[in-house]
Amino acid sequence: MEQLPALADKIRETLIETLSETGGHLGPNLGVVELTLALHRVFDTPKDKFVFDVAHQGYVHKMLTGRWDQIHTIRQYEGLNGFLLRSESEHDSYGAGHAGTALSAALGMASARDLRGTDENVICVAGDAAFTCGPVFEALNNVAAHTRRLIIVLNDNEWSIDRNVGAIAKYFNTITTHQGFAGLHQKAAQFVEFVLGKEARRLAGKVEESAKNFLLPQSGVASNRSVMFDEFGVRYYGPIDGHDVRLLTQTFEFLKTQDEPVILHIITEKGRGYKPALADPGKFHGLGKYNIETGETSATRTPTYSQVFARSVTDFAKDDEKIVAITAAMPGGTGLSVFKKELPQRYFDVGIAEEHAALFACGLATQGLRPFLAIYSTFMQRAYDMIIHDMAIQKLPVRLCMDRGGLSGDDGPTHHGLFDIAYLRPVPGLVHMQPKDEDEFVDMLWTMANYDEGPIAIRYPRGVGPGVTPKDQPRLLEIGQAELVAEGEDVALLGLGDLFPMAEEVKRRLEAEDGLSVSLINPRWIKPLDETLILEQARRVKVVCTFEDHVLTNGFGCGVMELLAEHRVTTPVVRIGWPDAFVEHGTIPILREKNGLTAEAALQKIREVLAPRG
């Protein structure tokens, strides 16, 4: 026990040094060092099960379960994943990457244990931000009914990626800051004595019932109000210091003896032990390489797509009071911090609650407002029912802005935005598009701002684009009209979005190396397709080739093939895109090369089709 503080310091030192070279989720992991040490001291994985919500705070767990020597490979190609993976270690009992999943999964594990009649412990670790997720409350509603033993750790640091918002965040803050505490009954007294000794029984500190019956002033009169967890049948303990490893250890020793579901509320600092991370928790939630001394990251002068999006929509909103912006706990990631700062009354952060965000946007749209809903492609999956049932059926003009559309590199399969074309393509009446550069991106956003016929979506990649400066005044685009960049007789190339430059390279090489005449098309529109142009080109050439940063299954290329088949056009179609598999983490160039998303792969496939047979 006496060595644990020194071990905690060593872990932090290793994380700070390692992630300065690899990037990663520094702040969250610095905040859970003592918690993870205490968990592993009291419990025994893989027999006992730890379920970390999101699991971006699992680096310390990895280091303590045989992967310390590999931590320098975190988020690198063929190295450790940035989240927990069942396939990576027997100690990773549940994989994750999205928020709000851990409590339901842990309850399932505990219920399975009860059915088997075994005695392992199940511990769910979730941040306070997770409690803005609907699934967490759905799980809470079932905990007491389905198991008698489950430990839930509420890791309260006031942050998800950005600072937490809403009533739940305020509720937790009230528990941790209120100075008036009522009665300490026998159960809490036993807990205090077990953890801190008999002398501590006289102290009415921040423990179970003292927090349960905290006093809230109402019209100047203090009144008792029960903590919500007890109403769900889950015994509440805390809040306690989440950086006191001895206290945490003793507390877990006590909690694992309890024959009822319990929740332990701990207070931690996101970024503890590293001044730059404490000063800017949002930045250090997840970041690239940084300077250890200053915390500075390398900056690019070229604005990212996220920055272009936020700047454009903010400017549009200044001239159109109907425009509002919505994010689900991602003002920094989506760029909407700019909108928040300049137009706070029309900015809405609903917390990690994508389904609610989509429905909230629908309500705004029914009242004549023009909501821009900015959610990563991978997280928009959570709102799919709302897109069909609430937006599309009612033809509500909600503007779906899907950041990270395409491969998300080192974040891995939970964060790649490779499925949105497939899940939006079947939705009747929905418009979907992707720009080839920043200038066209702003034109598309302007078109969205002026489109009121129903839901309209745009996908755009992570990071920077080609660096094309947008025009001073954006122009409206005609829905469903592609751009014919060059016309040819032998091959037609349709390069969607960020793969348009790849199509340009293929065109140059086919002309220079094969002497072919090549059409080049910027499709722009995923739905509706420019049927007239595509059919005209397909009837003219010997082979069509589509390029998309998306899975091939039900993707853009499939839409082109369906169109040709419907009109009995037999021109062969070559498709360049991601395979029917979950793509691992790694740099985009490496993963594209491995999976055949290269100009060389496209050239080979096209030449095979054109080669004389016999």
- Residue 606 CB neighbour total at 10 angstroms: 26
Question: Is 61 within 8 Å of 50 (Cβ atoms)?
Answer: yes
In SS3 terms, 383-444 reads as: HHHHHHHHHHCCCCCCEEEECCCECCHHHCCCCCECCHHHHHCCCCCCEEECCCCHHHHHHH
Q: Is 144 helix (H, G, I), strand (E, B) or coil?
A: helix
Peptide bond into 46 cis (omega under 30): yes
What is the distance between the alpha carbons of residues 122 and 49, in angstroms, rounded to a whole number?
5
Rg (CA), the chain: 27
Q: Is 354 a catalytic residue?
A: yes
What is the distance between the alpha carbons of residues 431 and 346, in angstroms, rounded to a whole number?
25
List 120, 158, 208, 354, catalytic entry? 354
List 49, 382, 524, 527, catalytic entry? 382
Q: What is the DSSP letter of 67?
A: I
What is the distance between the alpha carbons of residues 131 and 173, in angstroms, rounded to a whole number?
13
- Residue 258 CB neighbour total at 10 angstroms: 16
| Residue 592 vs residues 119, 406, 417, 596: alpha-carbon distances, Å | 46, 11, 15, 6
List 49, 212, 270, 283, catalytic entry? 270
Task: List Cβ neighbours of 17 (8 Å cut-off, separation of 6 or more).
Answer: 292
What is the distance between the alpha carbons of residues 476 and 447, in angstroms, rounded to a whole number?
5
What is the distance between the alpha carbons of residues 315 and 465, in angstroms, rounded to a whole number?
20
Question: Is 550 within 8 Å of 498 (Cβ atoms)?
Answer: no
In SS3 terms, 494-545 reads as: EECHHHHHHHHHHHHHHHHHHCCCEEEEECCEEECCCHHHHHHHHHHCCEEE
Q: Is 270 a catalytic residue?
A: yes
Catalytic sites, residue numbers: 270, 354, 382
